[in-house]
Amino acid sequence: MKTLLAFLVFVVALARGHHDNIDRTQELKRGFNIPDDIPDLFGRVHDFPEYIIYNGYEAAEGSAPYIVSLETHNGTHTFVCGGSIIGDNWILTAAHCLTNRISAKIFYGSNYYGKSEISHTVGKENLIYHELFNPSISFSFDIGLIRTPRIEFTDKISKIALIHFIDGDDKLVGLNTKSCGWGYFRGTVRPERLQCMNVNVISNEECDKRHIVSIYDDMLCTGRIDGKAVCDGDSGGPLVTLSNPPILVGVNTFNERFCDGDSGYARVSFYLKWIQQITGIVN
């Protein structure tokens, strides 16, 4: 019951990539890749929040050289997500950003959405998502990878380290982290520049109690701080520590519908072996 009712509470798909010039209710369904011939609960949602990293701040140029903006295509529509550079030919993002897509364009090295001197376009054979991802069952296993041509690192383009295996048992509760994205606000307007905010990691138990959606071990949640909350910052975008250098601990997967509460992420430490098996990247 938790899993079913969750669809009425969380605007999952709105954190899950957007495309322009379509009915917003249908966008919600298509963004989550639910086939038109399968009944779903998304169509019952008719009002939408102001989609943005709520009360965040504009990121300084070059402050997040690991983040990329993504445009993925299904043959008819263009969807928008975020991602993180984790190797010289790998991007880590959310599974829902890649399912039913035929190509992806990656923009590197700029805080301006969809604008960069360097970009790559790759086909669906390079879009890899977890084999157990099934949004009709739960929000688990929402993690994916994009194989890219070799990325030349600069002062504005660089990879981010993944949380170490040794940190896997640490639930990170209370850790102050940073989340960034180019999410919509005022319904259809996208901020030109990257928006970020600091958020605290809360326990899965607390997150599970506060919401109808079921929270599993492969997820982590962040809570609202001083009137600030992640609200449809692009799905697939990074949750990182405030250390220097930063460490990637989460991949944004779902956010509160009304921008007034918790946000959910794929817990990177849970997927380290999966990432290593595909990419060969070892911390």
pLDDT of the residue at 193: 85
As to burial, measured by CB atoms within 10 angstroms (0-12 exposed, 13-18 middle, 19+ buried), residue 193 is middle
Query: From the CA atom positions of the chain, what is the Rg in Å?
Result: 17
**Total domains present in the chain:** 1
The closest of 172, 186, 203, 182 to 56, measured between CA atoms, is 182
- pLDDT for 74 equals 94
Average pLDDT per consecutive 10 residues, the chain (283 residues; last block may be shorter):
42 42 30 32 29 66 93 92 96 96 96 87 98 90 98 96 77 89 64 85 88 85 68 78 95 72 89 96 82
- Which residue, among 122, 143, 123, 124, has the nearest Cα to 132 in the 3D structure? 143
Its domain, for residue 277, covers 1-283
Query: In sequence order, which ranges of the chain are alpha helices (DSSP H)?
Result: 2-9, 24-31, 204-210, 272-279
pTM: 0.80
Question: Of 69, 84, 235, 263, which residue is the catalytic one?
Answer: 235
Cα(175)–Cα(122) distance, rounded to whole angstroms? 35
pLDDT of residue 84: 98
Annotated catalytic residue 120: no
Q: Which of these is catalytic: 142, 232, 234, 262?
A: 142
How high is the pLDDT of residue 119?
A: 96
Query: How many Å apart are CA 32 and CA 264, to the nearest integer?
Result: 15
Nearest to 185 by CA among 129, 133, 241, 230: 230
pLDDT, residue 257, reads 56
Instruction: Tell me, yes or no, if 130 is annotated catalytic.
Output: no
Q: Would residue 96 show up in a list of annotated catalytic residues for this protein?
A: yes
Spot the catalytic one: 18, 69, 84, 96.
96
Q: What CATH number should be reported for the domain holding residue 191?
A: 2.40.10.10
